[in-house]
Amino acid sequence: MATKPEHAPILAKLAELLRRVRQAAALTGAGVSHESGIPTFRGPGGLWRNFRPEELATPQAFARDPRLVWEWYDWRRGLISQAWPNPGHEALAALEGLVPDFTLITQNVDGLHTLAGSRRVLEVHGSIWEVRCTACGQVKADRRVPIPIPPYCNSCGGLLRPNVVWFGEGLAADVLDAVQHALKQAQVLLVVGTSAVVQPAASFALWAKQWGAKLAEINPEPTPLTPHCDFVLTGKSGEVLPGLAAELAFSQAHGPDPSKKSP
């Protein structure tokens, strides 16, 4: 996919900045997996049986009707198991190889960044491929598709839940510490495919900015973060990010391309 002409000067400046920094990070959301065929939460096709995520992704919903909540997760696990990383995931994995210290912070639970080759990944909302026992607390990888509904723990017989972070639950303290460390170090933060309405992840970019990072947003739609961003690339991550990785690789090899400089 060729770079859009209106993106070229912004990509050139962003790549030049990335060429000069040691530490950078990316924060991703559901939009980065959209081109892999996975619906976003708040976009068209994001509603499963007309439920909003706020009605299913809560401990209260699970306590009330674990079968319903597991049916939602089983449907999503089925979709994700058939999905492959797209050029956006691949470009982010390539950036990890191009920037000396690059951390990928994702709100996604689908595991596609790791499948694309990203190594330093912080999954702040957990993983859809892990289950946690509500009785004994054991966490295990579980890739069964379909999964028995509801599933029970092999060790103690307790009810299993997805090992993800629901509304009203805190992010794991060690993950949050690692996020803060990465954001304090980052000189550039790419914010990719998130509506930036769910806290605390929605604030990560503002924390990073306070700590000195330049912000670059890649999203087809504006978000509450857009006015705070130093670079705004309006488009799909699978179309924009490969151009950024290519530009950075080129400028590392040859120095910045003078033909791509803005006047």
The catalytic site residues sit at 125
AA letter at 173: A
SS3 216: strand
Q: Is 31 in the site for ligand BJW (CB under 6 A)?
A: yes
Site stretch for ligand BJW (CB under 6 A), options 14-22, 168-176, 207-215, 248-256: 168-176
Nearest distance, CB of residue 22 and ligand BJW, angstroms: 27
Contact partner, 153, from ligand BJW, Zn ion, none, Cβ < 5-8 Å per class: Zn ion
Residue 19 vs 145, nearer CB to ligand BJW:
145
125: contact with ligand BJW by CB under 6 A: yes
Instruction: Write down the least CB distance from residue 255 to ligand BJW, Å.
Output: 30
> Per the omega criterion (within 30 degrees of 0), is the bond before 162 cis?
no
Cα 231 to the center of its chain, rounded Å: 19
**Cβ closer to ligand BJW: 163 or 251?**
163
Structure tokens at 102: 């690059």
Give every CB contact of residue 186 below 8 A, 6+ residues apart in sequence: 23, 24, 25, 103, 208, 211, 213
Is residue 147 part of the contact set for Zn ion (CB under 5 A)? no
Of 6, 82, 119, 135, which lies in the binding site for Zn ion, with binding defined by CB under 5 A?
135
Q: Does residue 198 touch ligand BJW according to CB under 6 A?
A: yes
- By the rule CB under 6 A, 195 interacts with ligand BJW: yes
H helices of the chain, in order, are: 8-20, 31-34, 53-56, 59-64, 66-81, 87-98, 112-116, 173-185, 201-210, 237-254
For ligand BJW, the closer of residues 4 and 19 by Cβ is 4
| Cβ-based burial of 101 (10 A; exposed 0-12, middle 13-18, buried ≥19) | middle
Which of 6, 169, 181, 261 binds ligand BJW (CB under 6 A)? It is: 169
Using CB positions, name the residue nearest to ligand BJW. 31
Contacts of 154 (CB under 8 A, 6+ apart): none
Chain residues binding Zn ion by CB under 5 A are 133, 135-136, 153, 155-156, 158
